[in-house]
Structure 1
Amino acid sequence: MKKLFILMVSVGLVFTSCVSKQKYAELEAKQKETQDLLNTATVKLNACEADKAAANARIASLQERIEDLRKTNTDLIESSKELTILTKQGATNLEKSLESLKEKDLKINRLQDALNKKDSVTLALVTSLKKEVGLNDEDIEINVEKGVVFISLSDKVLFRSGSYNLSTRANEILGKVATVINSKPDFEALVEGHTDNVPYKKGVLLDNWDLSAKRSTAVVRKLMELGANPSQLIAAGRSEFVPLVPNDTAENKSTNRRTKIFILPKIDQFYEMIENELEVLSNEGGGEGTGEGDGDGN
């Protein structure tokens, strides 16, 4: 009977331990999910704050310009009243100037909307990449640099040291990148290879320029093999000349050996629209100075 009692107590302890481990695993998974959400929210918050600051600066600048122009027109009206030479035609011209200012405000707002749309697309792209590629690897970074989304991959992820042959793991990571590229037909992917400052002299390669270029073209070929549209891909080598940190320790050299994949909107289309709007503004502004400009402007 004593042995049976001991056995029952032992079984109870085992079941209690299992339940505790299960609860711990559930809590740990929930904590990780919460942390991922927090990381994503932090990125969105930082992007929104930067967008807000830039937008406020642009709005302040535009408002200052508008106030200056309005003050000039007000001064002209006051001067005309004082000299009693304000004619009906002069008043009409001033009214046209004010109407023109309103039209310019509308066009500036359109440009602002275009910039905001670009910023929104950038934020959505970062979120998409982080969801597709994942955030659980310290050797993979997804971020925004000067308004451009990029993925930075440590050489440990893609290559063996001193080699431009891709690792087995590269298939998994680059497959996810290829999926994102294919989902964004209006974007391009610039693959940029970087090395440390240790001189490279192996085989047919002459130096780190050759090595960085070979690594970027190896990634481009793999992306094509995994289904990415080659017309969206660009290969570039930067050698050792854009280090993130000084090449003074083994750890820093490892940090500098990386491959960056920039996901770029086809910027020529975006700036073509802006240039067209600015050209219209310029043409209309040129006509106001002479009191003419009622024609087509062509």
Structure 2
Amino acid sequence: MRLSTVSILCGVMLLSTGCVTTKTHEATLQELENTRAALGSAQRTIQEQQLQIKKNQEEIKRYNDEINALQTKKKELDEEYHRLESSLNTSRSELSDKQAKLQELQAKLNLTEKQLDTLRQIEAETQKRNEIYAHFVDKLQKMIDAGKLTVSIENGRLVINLPEDVLFPTGRTTISTGGTETLKEIADILKELPERRFQIEGHTDTVPIHNDRFASNWELSSGRALTVVHLMIDEGVMPQNISAAGYGEYQPRADNATKEGKALNRRIEIVMLPNLDILSNELPNLTQTQ
């Protein structure tokens, strides 16, 4: 570009001096025309480049706008994500609480069903006890009418109560003839119930006893109970189904201040024991489901 300009200037100088030939003049003019053409081409190139720059700037602006829009959208999405994540965590916490509550309710339901089953067993046991009570009363009705014994249900237990004068002489553990016959009849009924357990309980009044055989009413009451147990076993009652206990004067039925009260307290009781397998496990827990 700089060389063309120099050539033009030289041509002008030669023309001004009048010392150039026609051929040189024509060459100079042609060079000038070529230079003009080159300048025009360069100007068009510049314009095209400026137009392209403008387009590029517009495209950059459009990209920047899109980037800003995408960044705004990303920010919105991030906020939505955090909101949803927080909501999810809350839902998980609520789900965990509800699952824990469900497990608690299921445990209570299982416990309640188990307790209901226990209550059904207790109800069945009570029904069975009442049937056995009616059977004893029917079998022993003659002796009940004769005043030799009573049959009752006390604190859920079936109790056959035999006064001392029916079974033993005063202060003795030897069973009287009439007492032996009475106990044999009772033993026949107990043998009909091999699935039940019975306890023979001896009781006395408060009159103290102390001799070579009995140091106190404990020994007397226990000795009488054991005597009845041995008779029952001899009559065929299974040993594993019968036991003995002596209570002395400490579980009175009546006031020991009167002769009649003392007579009621001197007694043998044959008690049908409840089914402890049913009662021992679940019944104490029935109030815990409230």
Q: TM-score range by the shorter chain?
A: 0.5 to 0.7
Alpha-carbon separation, structure 2, partners of 1:115 and 1:266:
9
1:131 paired with 2:138, answer: yes
- 1:157 CA displacement: 0.9
- 1:114 CA displacement: 1.3
Residues 217 and 276 of structure 1: is their aligned pair in 2 closer, same or farther, counting only changes over 3 Å? closer
Check the 8 A contact 1:244/1:256 in 2, yes or no: yes
Alpha-carbon separation, structure 2, partners of 1:231 and 1:96:
44
Larger radius of gyration: 2
Amino acid at match of 1:89: L
Residues 275 and 202 of structure 1: is their aligned pair in 2 closer, same or farther, counting only changes over 3 Å? same
Aligned residue among 111, 118, 132 for 2:125:
118
- Could you tell me which runs of 5 or more consecutive residues in structure 1 were left unpaired when the two chains were aligned: 1-84, 286-298
Check the 8 A contact 2:196/2:241 in 1, yes or no: yes
Q: Deviations over 1:55-93 (max 9, x none)?
A: xxxxxxxxxxxxxxxxxxxxxxxxxxxxxx667836676
Alignment match, 2:62: none
Amino acid at match of 2:250: F
- 1:107 CA displacement: 2.7
Alignment match, 2:252: 243
Q: Deviations over 1:210-231 (max 9, x none)?
A: 1111111111111111111111
> If the length of structure 1 is used for normalisation, what is the TM-score?
0.57
Aligned residue among 261, 270, 274 for 2:278:
270
Residues 95 and 212 of structure 1: is their aligned pair in 2 closer, same or farther, counting only changes over 3 Å? closer
Alpha-carbon separation, structure 2, partners of 1:246 and 1:222:
31
Amino acid at match of 2:114: K
Amino acid at match of 2:122: L
Alpha-carbon separation, structure 1, partners of 2:102 and 2:256:
64
What SS does the aligned partner of 1:143 have? strand
What SS does the aligned partner of 1:187 have? coil
1:217 paired with 2:217, answer: no
Correspondence list, 1:1-298, <5 A: 89=95, 102-134=109-141, 135-267=144-276, 269-271=277-279, 274-275=281-282
Check the 8 A contact 1:133/1:173 in 2, yes or no: no
- Could you tell me which runs of 5 or more consecutive residues in structure 2 were left unpaired when the two chains were aligned: 1-89
Amino acid at match of 1:270: I
Alpha-carbon separation, structure 2, partners of 1:203 and 1:226:
30
- How many percent identity over aligned positions? 25
Alignment match, 1:15: none
> If the length of structure 2 is used for normalisation, what is the TM-score?
0.59
Check the 8 A contact 1:186/1:266 in 2, yes or no: no
What SS does the aligned partner of 2:254 have? coil
- 1:149 CA displacement: 0.9
Alignment match, 1:66: none
Check the 8 A contact 1:126/1:149 in 2, yes or no: yes
- 1:98 CA displacement: 5.5
Alpha-carbon separation, structure 2, partners of 1:187 and 1:249:
37
Residues 192 and 103 of structure 1: is their aligned pair in 2 closer, same or farther, counting only changes over 3 Å? closer
Alpha-carbon separation, structure 2, partners of 1:219 and 1:147:
23
Alpha-carbon separation, structure 2, partners of 1:238 and 1:199:
14
What RMSD in Å do the two structures reach over aligned CA positions? 3.0
- 1:99 CA displacement: 5.6
What SS does the aligned partner of 2:244 have? strand
Residues 223 and 95 of structure 1: is their aligned pair in 2 closer, same or farther, counting only changes over 3 Å? closer
- 1:179 CA displacement: 2.0
